[in-house]
Every structure is written in structure tokens, then in C-alpha cells.
């Protein structure tokens, strides 16, 4: 039976194709030592007021800081937004290239009037990128009137970025496309890498609209400011159980940028976090870790490990020149997660991302009652997921694509058309003597993906933390088990 093509499936395929294209393009470029080509100024309002005086929607940067405050701001269509900073060289550049303040300046003002509703990302080209470091979001609301029908209740943005010291986040929920009748929707904050009570405080609420009311409603989340150096953390806002109208955009990811030297920008800490951490099974008792330094000033690295369901514990300290470590004397057929951080006489960097690895299991046929059997049963694939660390772990629903022997789909619900993850095993033996593995996902759930070579017991593992949508992956070194 031919499987029905769905929008999520098309989105997954597009993500995977884009990932492969980007990785091929990257092979022709050498990032180290490359000159930054800053955008030319453009797209702004003429003669912004000094210090953004008199502008209601103002974004500032503290003297010497590397975060926008507020990092997320909501305005009405036709309202200007003004940025101002001094003391450190910054600029403001739209993620889509539609506006820029130009090359970095130690003191600057930039203003843009947003006339079209939507969500517009921006970043500093010195200290950030569209996805990390010094970045932010402008949310532009529609000012149009209501229409016939009850309309939709939806989040004004699917992405919010907050500085740890910003105090509170006001999440905007809109009623669009109509205002007939009363309407309600439940709203709640779910923990991810940011923990409820530790990093943020929010109570579940029900937002209400009267008949004819199409005004926006807000949901307040308090952001807690600690003094710990830590990586950027995230949690999720969700809308559920609407009455009197349907739900539109129902999920938003909130990223909290650290202001104590451990955040994603890495610009206020003496040490930046190690990057590119990878964990690969080597035998039934060994997993090998590799990474990039992140900072040439590091005096060494501290390595931590946790088993599934456990807490991280330090297992080793290695010298500054080390770029690999083999964790040995482990039980067979077991999954572990790892992270590390750099250290010097002043303290520690932020943690690296989390990498998962597995020791070899026993060769055994693929069990199609519990897993997807790919490449005529040579590889066995499973996906476990949960919405947050407080949730129960579940097995994802599997959908085999009989027309493509190496590919399969996973759904994080019982609905067959709710496909959120695409997995593909490719025979690259003629190219580099390895089987390759590709995957793409359109979910911010916690994921643990396992692919086992049934002939050797070697297992490939990938971990994605809750609250973060994984980037598409092509691993051309996944299995050195040809033929």
C-alpha cells in the first residue's frame, strides 16, 4: 500500500535535503580565520532619535554586555522598534537580510518601523548568529478588526528569547480571523533544559475572550536570575483545550540566555564551551568521545556521564591538549550520555551539548514487532520520546516505507498522519567503507534514537534535549561495518 504524502513528511524531506546540501557546501569552505562580511546598512528609519528617546519599543544593550534587553519585544503593525547601545562594538542584522545597522560600532542607534504582521528575528553579527548567542525577536501583531466566525486562538510567536536578567516574559496570545461568541484557551509552561521553579516560574492559566473581543491576551512567566555560569536553557509554552474557536500556532520555545558568563554567546566568559562532542561505541565495554576545544586558553577538561534516567557525574579530568577520551569497563548493550566543560584557574566554561553513545550489543535479527527493520532487516531502528524531563518516556509509532528499503518514519502520537521524524540508512560502502545515517525531525520533544546493526551489534545513538528542535543530520561515519 502506498503511504499517503503529508505536509510533515514533505517538511522532513525538505529539511534533510537542505542539511545535505549545506554540508556539501561546507566542504568547500574553511571557516577558521575567515573574514566576517558585515551587512551594509539598510532597511531602517532615517534619523533615529539619540538613545531612542521617545520610542516606546526600545531594545538596549548594557555597557559591555552581549545580550539584547528585552530579547523579545511585541509591537503593533506600524510601530517603530529602536535599538541603542554603547561601550562595546555591536550591530543589528535581520536574520532574513531585510535590515541592518551596518558594520559594528561601539555606540549606535538603529530604528525600523514594522508595517507587516509576523515574527522577525535579528542578531548581532559580532557576538551572535540567527540561532545562537546575541540574538532576539520582534513580534508584530495585526491591528485589523474581527470578521465573521469565532476565529482562531494562537500564540503570536513560536520563538521567544529572554536574557536571564530580564525579569519577566509576557507571552501574547491572539484571536485572529473572527470574534463571534465567547472563547477560551488553556496555556501552560512545560520544562525543558530550563526547569520550573529553578529557572522560571509560571502558573497554568485560562485566557478568555468575550463575544466581539479580538484583543490580545498575555501570559506572564517570571525568569529567575541565578549567579551560575551555565549554557542557554529553554522551555516550552503550550496552548490546549480551546472552546469557542480553534487553535492555531499552539507551541512556542522560550530560550533563556545566561548573563553570568556561561551563555550561548560565550563572549563574557574567559572560556567558551567545548563544541562538536561526539560519542561512538567501540566495543561491548567502550565508548569513545571526541570534541573540539572551544577555547585555546583552557587548562583542561572535565568529563561527565549519566545512564538513562540518572544524573550526570564526573568520570574524568583530561589535559588541555586532549581531544578524545575512551570510557571503558562499561556494561554491554547500554546507552550513556556525556557532556564536558573546560576549566582554568578562574573556573569553568559552560557545558558542551549532550552526546549519547552505546556499547555493542549481541548480533540478533531485527524484531519488527518493536522496531523498524531497514535495509531488508540489516538495521533495527527505534525512537523513544517524551515532551519534557518530567514526562514519561514513550515509544514512537513506526511507519515503514516499502518503496524505500532504507527509510522509515516515526510519529510521536497514535495518529498516522502526525509524522515528525524521518530516518534513512544509506549504503556508502563504495564511497568511504561506511553505512551512512540521515535523519530530520520537526519536534522539540526529547528524543533518543537508536539504530543497531543486526549483524555486528554495533549501535548508533542520538540524543535531543526537550525544548530544542534538532538540526538535520547526515553522519557519513555512522557504521564502519561494511559490507
354: CATH: 2.60.40.10
Q: Specify the pLDDT at position 186.
A: 95
| pTM (global) more than 0.75 | no
105-114/446-453 β-pairing: unpaired
pLDDT in tens, 224-271: 887 666 677 889 999 999 999 899 889 998 888 876 554 443 333 467
- Residue 263 in any domain: the answer is no
The verdict on 349 and 203 lying in the same domain is no
Average pLDDT over residues 404-424: 80
Q: Specify the pLDDT at position 24.
A: 42
The verdict on 244 and 383 lying in the same domain is no
- Residue 264 in any domain: the answer is no
- Residue 229 in any domain: the answer is yes
Average pLDDT over residues 36-40: 67
The verdict on 9 and 145 lying in the same domain is no
Average pLDDT over residues 135-154: 79
Q: How far apart are CA 345 and CA 348, in angstroms?
A: 9
Q: Specify the pLDDT at position 127.
A: 83
Average pLDDT over residues 194-216: 88
Average pLDDT over residues 401-428: 82
Instruction: Look at residue 140 and tell me whether its pLDDT is greater than 90.
Output: no
Instruction: Look at residue 100 and tell me whether its pLDDT is greater than 60.
Output: yes
The verdict on 220 and 126 lying in the same domain is yes
- Residue 157 in any domain: the answer is yes
The verdict on 310 and 225 lying in the same domain is no
Cβ atoms within 10 Å, residue 241: 10
Q: Specify the pLDDT at position 33.
A: 35
Q: Specify the pLDDT at position 308.
A: 84
The verdict on 231 and 279 lying in the same domain is no
| Domain span at 310 | 275-358
Could you tell me the CATH number of the domain that includes residue 157? 2.60.40.2030
Q: Specify the pLDDT at position 396.
A: 93
The verdict on 205 and 282 lying in the same domain is no
Highest mean pLDDT among 208-212, 273-277, 354-358: 354-358
Q: Specify the pLDDT at position 295.
A: 57
- Helical (H) or strand (E) element with 116: none
How big, in percent rounded to 5, are the helix, strand and coil portions of the chain? Answer: 5, 45, 45
Instruction: Look at residue 19 and tell me whether its pLDDT is greater than 60.
Output: no
Confidence band of 377 (pLDDT split at 50, 70, 90):
very high
Please report the DSSP string for 236-300 in residue order.
EEEEEEEESSEE-S-EEEEEEEPSSS-STT--SSSSPPPEEEEEEE-SSS-EEEEEE-S-TT--E
Q: How many helices (H) and strands (E) does the chain have?
A: 2, 35
Percent of the chain with pLDDT over 90: 40
pLDDT in tens, 39-95: 788 999 999 998 899 999 999 987 667 888 888 888 888 999 999 998 788 999 998
- Asked which of 101-105, 162-166, 444-448 is least confident by mean pLDDT, the reply is 162-166
More confident position, 444 or 307: 307
Indicate the number of domains in the chain: 3
Residues counted in the chain:
483
Q: Specify the pLDDT at position 99.
A: 94
The verdict on 354 and 375 lying in the same domain is no
Q: How far apart are CA 479 and CA 455, in angstroms?
A: 11
Confidence band of 378 (pLDDT split at 50, 70, 90):
very high
Average pLDDT, the chain: 83
More confident position, 243 or 2: 243
The verdict on 108 and 227 lying in the same domain is yes
Confidence band of 35 (pLDDT split at 50, 70, 90):
very low
Q: Specify the pLDDT at position 2.
A: 40
Chain centre distance of CA 328: 31
Q: Specify the pLDDT at position 361.
A: 92
Average pLDDT over residues 468-479: 87
- Domain final residue pick, 311, 334, 358: 358
Q: Specify the pLDDT at position 418.
A: 67
- Residue 269 in any domain: the answer is no
pLDDT in tens, 146-186: 556 888 899 988 888 888 877 888 898 998 888 888 999 99
pLDDT in tens, 311-331: 889 999 998 888 899 999 999
**Grid cell of 17 as nine digits:** 535535503
The verdict on 172 and 212 lying in the same domain is yes
Instruction: Look at residue 20 and tell me whether its pLDDT is greater than 70.
Output: no
The verdict on 26 and 165 lying in the same domain is no
Instruction: Look at residue 408 and tell me whether its pLDDT is greater than 80.
Output: yes
Strands (E), 45-158: 57-61, 72-76, 79-90, 93-94, 105-114, 118-128, 133-141, 152-155
Confidence band of 307 (pLDDT split at 50, 70, 90):
very high
Q: How far apart are CA 360 and CA 456, in angstroms?
A: 8
- Residue 266 in any domain: the answer is no
- Residue 289 in any domain: the answer is yes
- Domain final residue pick, 321, 343, 358: 358
- Domain final residue pick, 257, 290, 315: 257
DSSP annotation of 330 reads P
Please report the DSSP string for 155-223 in residue order.
ES-SEEEEETTS-EEEEEEEEES---S-EEEEEEEEESSSPBTTTEE---EEEEE-TT----EEEEEEE
The verdict on 415 and 284 lying in the same domain is no
- Residue 184 in any domain: the answer is yes
Radius of gyration of the chain (CA): 24
Q: How far apart are CA 72 and CA 77, in angstroms?
A: 16
Amino acid at each position: 500500500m502506498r503511504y499517503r504524502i503529508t505536509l510533515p513528511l514533505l517538511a522532513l524531506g525538505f529539511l534533510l535535503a537542505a542539511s545535505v546540501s549545506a554540508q556539501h557546501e561546507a566542504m568547500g569552505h574553511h571557516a577558521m580565520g575567515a573574514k566576517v562580511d558585515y551587512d551594509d546598512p539598510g532597511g531602517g528609519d532615517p534619523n533615529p532619535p539619540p538613545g531612542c528617546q521617545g520610542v516606546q519599543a526600545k531594545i538596549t544593550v548594557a555597557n559591555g554586555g552581549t545580550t539584547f534587553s528585552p530579547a523579545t519585544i511585541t509591537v503593533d503593525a506600524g510601530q517603530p522598534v529602536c535599538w541603542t547601545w554603547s561601550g562595546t562594538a555591536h550591530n543589528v542584522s535581520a536574520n532574513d537580510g531585510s535590515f541592518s545597522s551596518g558594520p559594528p560600532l561601539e555606540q549606535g542607534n538603529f530604528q525600523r518601523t514594522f508595517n507587516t504582521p509576523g515574527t522577525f528575528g535579528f542578531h548581532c553579527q559580532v557576538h551572535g548568529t540567527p540561532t545562537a548567542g546575541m540574538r532576539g525577536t520582534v513580534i508584530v501583531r495585526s491591528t485589523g478588526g474581527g470578521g465573521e466566525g469565532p476565529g482562531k486562538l494562537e500564540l503570536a510567536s513560536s520563538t521567544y528569547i529572554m536574557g536571564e536578567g530580564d525579569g519577566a516574559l509576557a507571552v501574547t496570545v491572539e484571536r485572529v480571523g473572527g470574534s463571534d461568541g465567547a472563547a477560551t484557551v488553556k496555556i501552560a509552561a512545560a520544562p525543558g533544559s530550563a526547569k520550573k521553579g529553578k529557572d522560571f516560574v509560571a502558573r497554568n492559566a485560562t485566557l478568555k475572550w468575550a463575544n466581539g473581543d479580538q484583543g490580545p491576551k498575555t501570559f506572564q512567566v517570571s525568569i529567575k536570575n541565578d549567579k551560575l555560569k551555565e549554557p542557554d536553557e529553554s522551555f516550552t509554552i503550550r496552548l490546549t483545550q480551546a472552546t469557542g474557536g480553534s487553535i492555531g500556532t499552539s507551541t512556542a520555545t522560550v530560550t533563556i540566555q545566561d548573563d553570568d558568563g556561561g551563555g550561548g554567546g560565550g563572549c563574557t566568559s574567559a572560556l567558551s564551551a567545548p563544541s562538536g562532542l561526539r560519542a561512538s561505541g567501540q566495543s561491548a565495554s567502550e565508548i569513545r568521545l571526541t570534541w573540539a576545544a572551544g577555547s585555546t586558553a583552557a587548562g583542561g577538561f572535565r568529563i561527565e556521564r549519566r545512564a538513562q534516567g540518572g544524573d550526570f557525574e564526573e568520570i574524568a579530568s583530561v589535559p588541555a591538549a586532549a581531544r578524545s577520551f575512551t570510557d571503558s569497563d562499561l556494561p554491554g548493550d547500554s546507552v550513556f550520555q556525556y557532556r564536558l566543560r573546560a576549566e582554568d584557574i578562574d573556573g569553568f566554561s559552560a557545558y558542551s551539548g549532550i552526546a549519547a553513545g552505546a556499547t555493542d550489543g549481541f548480533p540478533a535479527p531485527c524484531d519488527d514487532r518493536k522496531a523498524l527493520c531497514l535495509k531488508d532487516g540489516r538495521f533495527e531502528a527505534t525512537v523513544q520520546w517524551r515532551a519534557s524531563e518530567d514526562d514519561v518516556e514513550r515509544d514512537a509509532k513506526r511507519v515503514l516505507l516499502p518503496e524505500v528499503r532504507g527509510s522509515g518514519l516515526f510519529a510521536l502520537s497514535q495518529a498516522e498522519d502526525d509524522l515528525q521524524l524521518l530516518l534513512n540508512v544509506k549504503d556508502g560502502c563504495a564511497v568511504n567503507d561506511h553505512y551512512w545515517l540521515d535523519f530530520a525531525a520537526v519536534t522539540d520533544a526529547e528524543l533518543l534514537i537508536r539504530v543497531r546493526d543486526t549483524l555486528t551489534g554495533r549501535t548508533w545513538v542520538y540524543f535531543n534535549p526537550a525544548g530544542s528542535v534538532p538540526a538535520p543530520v547526515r553522519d557519513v561515519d555512522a557504521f564502519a561495518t561494511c559490507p
